[in-house]
Every structure is written in C-alpha cells, then in structure tokens.
Amino acid sequence: MMLDKDGYDLVCTSAVDVREAQRARLNSVVIDGLSASVGEMFRGFAASFPHTVAAIERKYAVAIVLCRRFQDTWIASLAAEGRALNLFFYLIPETLVAEGAEFERKCAMLPPRWKELYRYFNSFMLTEDSYLSIDWTNTPFSYSGRLSIERYRVLRGVKKAVMRGFVKSIQANSEHYLRCWLLTDAGDALFLDEGKCDGKVYHVKNDDFADYRLLEDPETVLDNYLAHYVTTQSPEGFDFRT
C-alpha cells in the first residue's frame, strides 16, 4: 500500500521543506526530527514504548509531514509509509501542545508512560488510506475521542444493568468518570476511572464485564500490544492478561 502524496499540497521530508506558514502549525520537535527515526523525533515516546517504536522503525519508512491547505489554514499530518498499511500520527497543532503543569493536569488519569502517546501527538493509527481518519480502533483513541461508558454501551449494545454492575465492582465514584481508551476489533477494551487518577487500567474482553481484569502492568502491556499490532497489523492473537 503506497502512500499517495499527490493529494497533498506540500510534502516535507526534512526541516528545510517546512515553510513559514507550516512552522506556525508544527512543533519544533517534529520539524527538527524530520529525516530522523521516530525514536529520535519523539524520545519520550521511544523511552516509554520501546517495543512499539522499535516495531514502527522496523516496519515503516521514515516519517514525513504531509500538508493540505484548507481555505486559509494548513493542516499537517505525520505519516510513515508501510507495505500494507500506512501509519499516521494525529499531530497536535503547535498552538495546542500542552507542556509542564498544564500537560500533567490534562493527563493525570493516565499511567505515567501512557502520557507520551498524547504529548506531541494524539495517539496514532494504521490505515489503508493515504490520509488520517478521525475515528479508529486498535490503537488508543485520541484524547478527545476516548469513549464515555454510555457511548461504549450504546456502541456495543451492552445492557445498562451490566454496566452498573461493573461500576459498582470496581468501586468507581461515578460512571461519568469511566472512559474507554482502547477498543480493538478483537473485542479487547481498556477502561480507566478518570475520577480517581490512580493509573489503574481495567481490561474487558468481548463485553464480558463480569470477568474484567485489573492489569498489573498496564504500561508494559500496552507497549507489548502496540508492538504486536504494528508488527502483525492485526489485533488478533494478543493476550492482555498474560
């Protein structure tokens, strides 16, 4: 699956390709990292998700910035071409990149290493297309795209009583704070109680909420899963509980 660059107004493979109009939209970490590996561009991401980044570097070409002009606004994507699927990082516009206390507040509910999925980008996704889709499964949702428990329930057709039982058994203060951060096509879902900010992650398989599991090491588990997904390009065959 080749990445079709013809649909874009500007393709940047190194920092010198980035013009003034795009510099206002792109973080210097991305601009300065162009032509380098993903691990060199996003050092914090590589330190927190070493297996994932190694798999990305093994399976995908060096990431490039693809820019489209929409009226007077430039929209930029960071993409890496693969043989079957393309990988897109959902870049956060430079004006919205949170740092320091603001970033820590925004990501306080996450296990510490997960935060690197949301520092300079808003997670990533694999696609057959040559453009980023806002809705995706199999990798963690974008920050604003994570699902409320009610949205998950409706999407999956789960009975309200089942959800109430889950909320009670994990002793959540309120179902309003429960969010699904990952949903895979293999039926795996990861939930966090954002009201507690305790970094605990609950795994549910095929909507069987009675058989939920609190993950012992959610940081390593997510790194291993994403490495598996990036390598095999399928969520099947990964066990979140081993």
Domain residue ranges in the chain: 5-127, 147-232
pLDDT confidence of residue 73: 86
Q: Which two tokens stand for residue 32?
A: 């300065």
Tell me the mean pLDDT in the region 217-242. 97
Mean pLDDT over 227-242 rounds to 97
Given a cut of 60, is residue 1 above it in pLDDT?
Answer: no
3-class DSSP assignment, residue 16: helix
Give pLDDT, residue 2: 85
Using CA atoms, how far apart are residues 220 and 163, in angstroms rounded to an integer?
Answer: 27
In one-letter notation, the amino acid at residue 125 is M
Sign of the CA dihedral with 214 first, then 220, 226, and 230 last? negative
Residues 41-69 as b or e (16 or more Cβ within 10 Å = b): bbeebbebbebbbbbbbebbebbbbbbee
162 CB-contact burial (10 Å; exposed 0-12 / middle 13-18 / buried 19+): middle
Residue whose C-alpha is closest to residue 13's, from 78, 84, 70:
78
pLDDT, tens only, 24-79: 889 999 999 999 999 999 999 999 999 999 999 999 999 999 999 988 888 999 99
Query: Rounded to whole angstroms, how far apart are CA atoms 177 and 171?
Result: 12
- 47 vs 183: CA distance, rounded Å: 24
Does the global pTM surpass 0.75?
Answer: yes
The per-residue b/e assignment along 190-222, b for 16 or more CB within 10 angstroms, e otherwise, is bbbbbeeeebebbbbbeeebeebeebeebbebb
